[in-house]
Amino acid sequence: AQKVTQAQTEISVVEKEDVTLDCVYETRDTTYYLFWYKQPPSGELVFLIRRNSFDEQNEISGRYSWNFQKSTSSFNFTITASQVVDSAVYFCALTPYPGGKLTFGQGTILTVHP
């Protein structure tokens, strides 16, 4: 069985602060894929990143960066210089193969105050 844990239920920061969202996963599969999605108040899921289990390189995209640590089964997400528009619910998710059914974490509500 697969499991994704996002221990932080809610995070509140002031604009321009850096913030890290934690994600820990459990799986018996040797190959798997990890995702981060953003869900703004409107409800739609916005894809942020996909990472496969055999690629542990960290990735940076603008203000976003991801730290994949296979040894600790973690896939953390950092937003640098946060902005009010970053306020949303962020989900970490896991699947054993591309396009497979996703197991989502509980989600972290991020609120960025001006």
Partner 1 sequence: GAVVSQHPSWVICKSGTSVKIECRSLDFQATTMFWYRQFPKQSLMLMATSNEGSKATYEQGVEKDKFLINHASLTLSTLTVTSAHPEDSSFYICSAREDRGLLGANVLTFGAGSRLTVL
- Could you say which of 1, 54, 85, 98 contacts partner 1 (CB under 8 A)? 98
Q: CB under 8 A: which stretch of 19-27, 39-47, 62-70, 78-86 binds partner 1?
A: 39-47
The per-residue DSSP string of the chain comes to: --EEE---SEEEEETT--EEE--EEE-S-SS-EEEEEEE-TT---EEEEEEETT----EEETTEEEEEEGGGTEEEEEESS--GGG-EEEEEEEESSTTPPPEE---EEEEEE-
**Is 72 near partner 1 (CB under 8 A)?**
no
**Is 47 near partner 1 (CB under 8 A)?**
yes
Task: Give the x-and-dash track for 73-92 against partner 1 (CB under 8 A).
Answer: ------------------x-
**Is 108 near partner 1 (CB under 8 A)?**
no
Q: Toward partner 1, which CB reaches closer, 99 or 114?
A: 99
Q: CB under 8 A: which stretch of 15-23, 60-68, 80-88, 100-108 binds partner 1?
A: 100-108
Q: Which amino acid is at 38?
A: K
